[in-house]
Chains A and B, each alone.
Chain A
Amino acid sequence: MSDQRIWLTISASVVVMLAMRIFGYTLPAHLVSKERVLRITALIPIVLLAALIAVQTMTSDRELVIDHRFAGLVAGAIALYFKRSFLTVMVIAGATGAIFYNLL
């Protein structure tokens, strides 16, 4: 891609991204404050995060895979179950993932 095309791609992406972000903040309050809308928007980050975790851990180029990342996530989940701190969870998951990746 030419330099000019790359800049075009970057600029267009930035405009689209900012528009989507601002849209969420500018919807009129009376639309967003209905009880049903509140229930739904409260659930949205939960389902998005769950989906993000699953896709980041168990797909690779759109194929489903179980690899070192899954081992890391399971180790992290165990640490969470035993109420370890955020940093501990991350280190345990990262170390487990790295061990599996470098050994397998």
Chain B
Amino acid sequence: MAVAIPVGFYGAAFGAASISAGLDLLQTIALSSILFSGASQFAIVGVIGSGGGAMAAIMASALLGIRNGFYALRMAPLLEVRGLRRLIAAHITIDEATAVALAQDQSNRDSVKKGFWFTGIGVFIFWNLFTVVGALSAATLEDPAKWGLDSAVPAAFLALLWPQLTTKRLRIIALLAMVMALALSPFVTAGLPIISVVAIALIAGWRK
């Protein structure tokens, strides 16, 4: 549940950014509720705000969202969901829900599931609630850095990654992923540096 708090504030920052990019309240709420993927949402309003076209915005959103598909691949055998529950699980498959679920002891399937559902739904509620708050108070929330939010969010992800790095091999793999993403960042479009590290997982996982 603690993950949902900084996420909520980031939701407020998104609401503010969206309004100042020229979207109206309904469009802002639509992004947070039916797209529901922070990085993609920021990318869309960023492109629109800087005068970019629809195609550029859609591509940026898709590129940043691919990782949700990879998370889904990982969560599928752990969640064992069908029908409507599968649709809901898919919709709340985000960085936070996946990270919390996988930070649990994986031999305890129940706590993995609980971690996923509680985090996913919790983040959904906070994200949307604060999107509205941010949209309605657009001017005051435009600088999340002032409140340390842009530092707290990556640290929260680090706290979720930390317990997963149980062996030296895994720590080296994580470090390589960081280096690769940073090395690519100046040269390729946003979103690509992050998903490109899937190559590291492919190579490292190919043989034990």
A residues lining the B interface (CB < 8 Å):
1, 3, 5-10, 12-14, 16-18, 20-27, 29, 32-33, 36, 38-59, 62-64, 68-69, 71-73, 75-77, 80, 86-87, 89-99, 101-102
Contact = CB atoms under 8 A, between A and B. Distances in A.
A63 B54 CA distance: 25
B145 interface: yes
Nearest to A22: B90
Interface centre among B34, B146, B148, B161 (most CB of A within 10 A): B148
Consensus secondary structure, chain A interface = helix
B2 A49 contact: no
A73 B178 CA distance: 13
The interface residues of chain B, by DSSP majority, are classed as helix
Interface in B76-132: 76-77, 79, 81, 86-87, 89-91, 93, 95, 98-99, 102
A89 B156 CA distance: 7
B176 to A, nearest CB: 8
B182 to A, nearest CB: 5
Contacts, number: 294
Contact of B182 (A55, A93, A94): A55
Nearest to A84: B159
Interface of B: 2-3, 5-6, 22-24, 27, 30-31, 34-37, 40, 44, 48, 53-54, 57-58, 61-62, 65-77, 79, 81, 86-87, 89-91, 93, 95, 98-99, 102, 145-162, 164-165, 170, 173-182, 185-186, 190, 193-198, 200-202, 204-206, 208
Contacts of B48: 1, 6, 9
B159 A80 contact: yes
A9 B65 contact: no
Given A25-B79, A54-B177, 10 more contacts: A6-B48, A21-B69, A42-B74, A47-B200, A49-B160, A51-B196, A52-B194, A59-B182, A68-B145, A98-B146
Question: 6 shortest A-B CB distances, which residue pairs?
Answer: A97-B151, A24-B72, A72-B151, A93-B155, A98-B148, A76-B155
B186 A62 contact: yes
Contacts of A42: 74, 205
